[in-house]
């Protein structure tokens, strides 16, 4: 997956072979922000313009722009798995949060 980043927002990029244009959308917010360009330069500019326009629209409407990702998410586990993961984290000297963050970072190759 190809991505672009601007002002804390992430855009994911596709290529429409039929139209010969790059298309993209901003991830992590409920609002729909789309952008496109015939070249990488055009795509980047349209992405930045879309985010800037989103901020301007929010300002005009008196709303706070959505944060792309809060840094929090809920995972539902069985009580048995929850216990096993917590014990494993403690055995490595880490909190459950640090243990899970380390695993997710490694798996996401961040």
Taking only the tens place, the pLDDT of each residue in 47-76 is 999 999 999 999 999 999 999 877 788 899
At residue 71, the pLDDT reads 79
pLDDT at 33 over 90: yes
Separation between Cα atoms, residue 61 and residue 84, nearest integer Å: 48
Report if pTM > 0.75. Answer: no
At residue 37, the pLDDT reads 96
Q: CA separation (Å) from 1 to 14, 24, 89?
A: 8, 11, 31
At residue 110, the pLDDT reads 63
The pLDDT mean for the chain works out to 93
Under DSSP, is residue 15 helix (H, G, I), strand (E, B) or coil? strand
């Amino acid at each position: 997956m190809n991505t672009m980043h601007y002002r804390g927002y992430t855009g994911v990029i596709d290529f429409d072979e039929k139209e010969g244009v790059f298309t993209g959308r901003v991830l992590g917010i409920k609002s729909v922000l789309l952008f496109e360009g015939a070249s990488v330069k055009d795509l980047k500019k349209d992405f930045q313009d879309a985010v800037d326009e989103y901020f301007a629209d929010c300002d005009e409407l008196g709303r706070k722009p959505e944060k792309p990702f809060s840094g929090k998410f809920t995972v539902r586990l069985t009580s048995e798995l929850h216990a096993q993961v917590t014990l494993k984290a403690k055995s490595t000297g880490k909190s459950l949060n640090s243990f899970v963050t380390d695993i997710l970072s490694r798996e996401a190759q961040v």
